[in-house]
Amino acid sequence: MAATSNAAQSPQTAAESSVCQGLATALGNNQRFIDGQRANPDAQSAARITNREAVIEQIKVQQKASGCVVGESAQGSQATQPAQPAQPPAQSAPAGNTGDTGNTAGTGNAGDTGNTGDAGNTGGGAASGQQVCNGSTVTLSGEGGAPAASSNQFPAGTKLKVTNLDNNKSTTVEVTSVSGSCVLLNNAAFEQVREPGKFLIRRAVIEKVG
Protein backbone atom coordinates (compact mmCIF):
# COMPACT_ATOMS: atom_id res chain seq x y z
CA MET A 1 0.00 0.00 0.00
CA ALA A 2 2.83 2.39 0.84
CA ALA A 3 4.44 1.79 -2.53
CA THR A 4 1.13 2.40 -4.31
CA SER A 5 0.54 5.62 -2.41
CA ASN A 6 4.02 6.95 -3.16
CA ALA A 7 3.64 6.17 -6.85
CA ALA A 8 0.33 7.98 -7.01
CA GLN A 9 1.90 11.07 -5.50
CA SER A 10 4.93 11.17 -7.78
CA PRO A 11 4.54 13.87 -10.47
CA GLN A 12 4.58 12.58 -14.02
CA THR A 13 7.09 13.81 -16.57
CA ALA A 14 6.40 14.69 -20.19
CA ALA A 15 7.82 11.34 -21.23
CA GLU A 16 5.31 9.52 -19.03
CA SER A 17 2.11 11.34 -19.98
CA SER A 18 0.78 12.82 -23.21
CA VAL A 19 -1.05 15.48 -21.18
CA CYS A 20 2.18 16.45 -19.43
CA GLN A 21 3.98 16.48 -22.79
CA GLY A 22 1.44 18.90 -24.20
CA LEU A 23 1.68 21.21 -21.21
CA ALA A 24 5.49 21.08 -21.21
CA THR A 25 5.55 21.89 -24.92
CA ALA A 26 3.16 24.82 -24.43
CA LEU A 27 5.27 26.17 -21.57
CA GLY A 28 8.44 25.80 -23.63
CA ASN A 29 6.92 27.58 -26.62
CA ASN A 30 5.93 30.54 -24.45
CA GLN A 31 9.39 30.71 -22.89
CA ARG A 32 10.97 30.72 -26.35
CA PHE A 33 8.62 33.49 -27.48
CA ILE A 34 9.58 35.59 -24.43
CA ASP A 35 13.29 34.98 -25.13
CA GLY A 36 12.76 36.12 -28.72
CA GLN A 37 10.98 39.29 -27.64
CA ARG A 38 13.76 40.11 -25.19
CA ALA A 39 16.41 39.49 -27.84
CA ASN A 40 14.62 41.66 -30.45
CA PRO A 41 12.33 44.02 -28.55
CA ASP A 42 9.89 46.48 -30.10
CA ALA A 43 7.32 48.91 -28.74
CA GLN A 44 4.87 46.15 -27.77
CA SER A 45 7.36 43.60 -26.43
CA ALA A 46 6.83 44.47 -22.76
CA ALA A 47 3.05 43.93 -23.06
CA ARG A 48 3.51 40.67 -24.96
CA ILE A 49 6.01 39.38 -22.40
CA THR A 50 3.62 40.22 -19.54
CA ASN A 51 0.83 38.35 -21.31
CA ARG A 52 2.95 35.28 -21.99
CA GLU A 53 4.26 35.20 -18.40
CA ALA A 54 0.64 35.11 -17.22
CA VAL A 55 -0.03 32.24 -19.63
CA ILE A 56 2.99 30.35 -18.26
CA GLU A 57 1.59 30.69 -14.74
CA GLN A 58 -1.73 29.26 -15.95
CA ILE A 59 0.10 26.35 -17.58
CA LYS A 60 1.90 25.63 -14.29
CA VAL A 61 -1.48 25.52 -12.55
CA GLN A 62 -2.62 23.01 -15.17
CA GLN A 63 0.54 20.97 -14.67
CA LYS A 64 -0.08 20.76 -10.94
CA ALA A 65 -3.76 19.87 -11.41
CA SER A 66 -2.83 17.16 -13.93
CA GLY A 67 -0.20 15.58 -11.67
CA CYS A 68 2.68 16.70 -13.89
CA VAL A 69 6.09 18.09 -12.93
CA VAL A 70 5.36 21.78 -12.36
CA GLY A 71 7.55 24.04 -14.50
CA GLU A 72 8.75 21.27 -16.81
CA SER A 73 9.56 22.78 -20.19
CA ALA A 74 9.86 20.96 -23.49
CA GLN A 75 11.59 23.68 -25.46
CA GLY A 76 13.77 21.11 -27.15
CA SER A 77 10.73 19.43 -28.71
CA GLN A 78 10.36 22.39 -31.05
CA ALA A 79 14.06 23.18 -31.41
CA THR A 80 14.29 21.78 -34.92
CA GLN A 81 11.44 23.96 -36.19
CA PRO A 82 13.13 26.84 -38.05
CA ALA A 83 11.89 30.38 -37.81
CA GLN A 84 9.52 31.07 -40.69
CA PRO A 85 8.62 34.41 -42.25
CA ALA A 86 4.95 35.22 -42.59
CA GLN A 87 3.50 33.09 -45.38
CA PRO A 88 1.28 34.46 -48.18
CA PRO A 89 -2.35 34.54 -46.98
CA ALA A 90 -3.59 32.16 -49.67
CA GLN A 91 -1.16 29.41 -48.70
CA SER A 92 -2.68 26.61 -46.68
CA ALA A 93 -1.04 26.01 -43.30
CA PRO A 94 0.19 22.61 -42.11
CA ALA A 95 -2.40 20.19 -40.75
CA GLY A 96 -0.67 19.86 -37.38
CA ASN A 97 0.56 22.31 -34.80
CA THR A 98 3.87 23.72 -36.01
CA GLY A 99 4.89 25.13 -32.66
CA ASP A 100 6.51 28.46 -31.94
CA THR A 101 8.04 29.96 -35.07
CA GLY A 102 10.02 32.54 -33.12
CA ASN A 103 8.69 35.46 -35.19
CA THR A 104 9.66 38.67 -33.40
CA ALA A 105 9.16 41.13 -36.24
CA GLY A 106 6.57 43.08 -34.27
CA THR A 107 3.54 41.02 -35.27
CA GLY A 108 3.24 39.36 -31.86
CA ASN A 109 1.78 36.30 -33.56
CA ALA A 110 4.65 33.96 -32.90
CA GLY A 111 4.24 30.74 -31.14
CA ASP A 112 1.87 28.35 -29.60
CA THR A 113 0.87 30.32 -26.54
CA GLY A 114 -1.02 27.73 -24.65
CA ASN A 115 -1.98 24.93 -26.97
CA THR A 116 -2.01 21.65 -25.13
CA GLY A 117 -2.38 19.45 -28.15
CA ASP A 118 -4.29 19.58 -31.44
CA ALA A 119 -4.62 15.88 -32.19
CA GLY A 120 -8.14 16.41 -33.43
CA ASN A 121 -7.42 19.31 -35.78
CA THR A 122 -9.01 19.11 -39.20
CA GLY A 123 -7.01 22.01 -40.63
CA GLY A 124 -7.94 24.49 -43.33
CA GLY A 125 -9.97 21.88 -45.22
CA ALA A 126 -12.71 21.78 -42.56
CA ALA A 127 -16.25 22.36 -43.80
CA SER A 128 -18.11 25.51 -42.80
CA GLY A 129 -19.86 25.06 -39.46
CA GLN A 130 -17.51 22.26 -38.39
CA GLN A 131 -15.82 22.28 -34.99
CA VAL A 132 -12.04 22.57 -35.36
CA CYS A 133 -8.90 22.85 -33.23
CA ASN A 134 -10.24 20.21 -30.82
CA GLY A 135 -8.38 20.31 -27.50
CA SER A 136 -6.83 23.72 -28.17
CA THR A 137 -6.59 26.46 -25.62
CA VAL A 138 -6.92 30.08 -26.76
CA THR A 139 -4.95 33.14 -25.76
CA LEU A 140 -4.16 36.57 -27.18
CA SER A 141 -1.50 37.65 -29.66
CA GLY A 142 -0.96 41.11 -28.18
CA GLU A 143 -1.99 42.77 -31.45
CA GLY A 144 -4.22 45.84 -31.54
CA GLY A 145 -6.83 46.84 -34.09
CA ALA A 146 -10.33 45.56 -34.83
CA PRO A 147 -11.23 42.05 -33.61
CA ALA A 148 -9.29 39.48 -35.65
CA ALA A 149 -7.40 36.20 -35.37
CA SER A 150 -4.24 34.54 -36.66
CA SER A 151 -3.72 30.85 -37.36
CA ASN A 152 -1.38 28.18 -38.68
CA GLN A 153 -4.37 26.06 -39.74
CA PHE A 154 -6.51 28.42 -41.80
CA PRO A 155 -5.70 30.93 -44.56
CA ALA A 156 -6.49 34.63 -44.33
CA GLY A 157 -10.17 35.34 -44.89
CA THR A 158 -11.38 32.29 -42.94
CA LYS A 159 -14.00 33.14 -40.31
CA LEU A 160 -13.81 31.37 -36.95
CA LYS A 161 -16.26 31.43 -34.04
CA VAL A 162 -14.58 31.11 -30.64
CA THR A 163 -16.73 30.31 -27.59
CA ASN A 164 -15.43 30.45 -24.02
CA LEU A 165 -17.27 27.65 -22.21
CA ASP A 166 -16.39 29.13 -18.81
CA ASN A 167 -18.61 32.19 -19.39
CA ASN A 168 -20.52 31.23 -22.58
CA LYS A 169 -19.23 34.32 -24.41
CA SER A 170 -18.37 34.00 -28.08
CA THR A 171 -16.89 36.06 -30.90
CA THR A 172 -16.70 35.51 -34.65
CA VAL A 173 -13.51 36.83 -36.22
CA GLU A 174 -11.67 36.70 -39.53
CA VAL A 175 -8.17 35.22 -39.84
CA THR A 176 -5.87 38.01 -41.02
CA SER A 177 -2.37 36.60 -40.52
CA VAL A 178 -0.24 33.53 -39.80
CA SER A 179 0.78 32.40 -36.30
CA GLY A 180 2.19 29.30 -34.65
CA SER A 181 -1.14 28.18 -33.14
CA CYS A 182 -4.43 26.90 -34.47
CA VAL A 183 -6.00 30.19 -33.40
CA LEU A 184 -4.77 33.31 -31.59
CA LEU A 185 -7.09 36.23 -30.88
CA ASN A 186 -5.91 39.81 -30.99
CA ASN A 187 -6.56 42.06 -28.00
CA ALA A 188 -9.98 43.31 -29.12
CA ALA A 189 -11.30 39.83 -29.93
CA PHE A 190 -9.93 38.32 -26.72
CA GLU A 191 -11.61 41.03 -24.63
CA GLN A 192 -14.98 39.93 -26.06
CA VAL A 193 -14.70 36.42 -24.61
CA ARG A 194 -12.20 36.57 -21.74
CA GLU A 195 -12.85 36.20 -18.04
CA PRO A 196 -11.55 39.16 -16.00
CA GLY A 197 -7.88 38.82 -15.16
CA LYS A 198 -7.35 35.68 -17.25
CA PHE A 199 -5.03 35.44 -20.24
CA LEU A 200 -5.89 31.89 -21.26
CA ILE A 201 -9.15 30.22 -22.27
CA ARG A 202 -8.74 26.59 -21.28
CA ARG A 203 -12.26 25.43 -22.26
CA ALA A 204 -12.92 26.73 -25.74
CA VAL A 205 -15.03 25.60 -28.69
CA ILE A 206 -13.74 26.77 -32.07
CA GLU A 207 -15.89 26.52 -35.19
CA LYS A 208 -15.14 27.33 -38.81
CA VAL A 209 -18.11 29.41 -39.97
CA GLY A 210 -16.88 30.82 -43.26
Is residue 50 domain-resident? yes
- The pLDDT assigned to 179 comes to 74
The count of domains in the chain is 1
pTM greater than the 0.85 cutoff:
no
Phi, psi angles (nearest 5°) of residue 131: -70, 135
- The pLDDT assigned to 23 comes to 81
Q: Give the integer Cα–Cα distance in Å for 97 and 67.
A: 24
Residue 197 burial by Cβ neighbours in a 10 Å radius (0-12, 13-18, 19+): exposed
Is residue 101 domain-resident? yes
- The pLDDT assigned to 161 comes to 94
CA atoms within 13 A on the CB side of 158: 33
Q: What angle do CA 51, 53, 54 make, to 5 degrees?
A: 65
111: left (phi over 0), alpha (psi -120 to 50) or beta: left
Domain CATH number, residue 72: 2.40.40.10
* Domain housing 59: 10-80+88-208
Is residue 167 domain-resident? yes
- The pLDDT assigned to 48 comes to 79
The list of the chain residues with pLDDT below 50 reads 1-7, 76-122
Is residue 127 domain-resident? yes
- The pLDDT assigned to 126 comes to 64
Point out which residues pair with 164 in neighbouring strands. Answer: 169, 204
Amino acid at 164: N
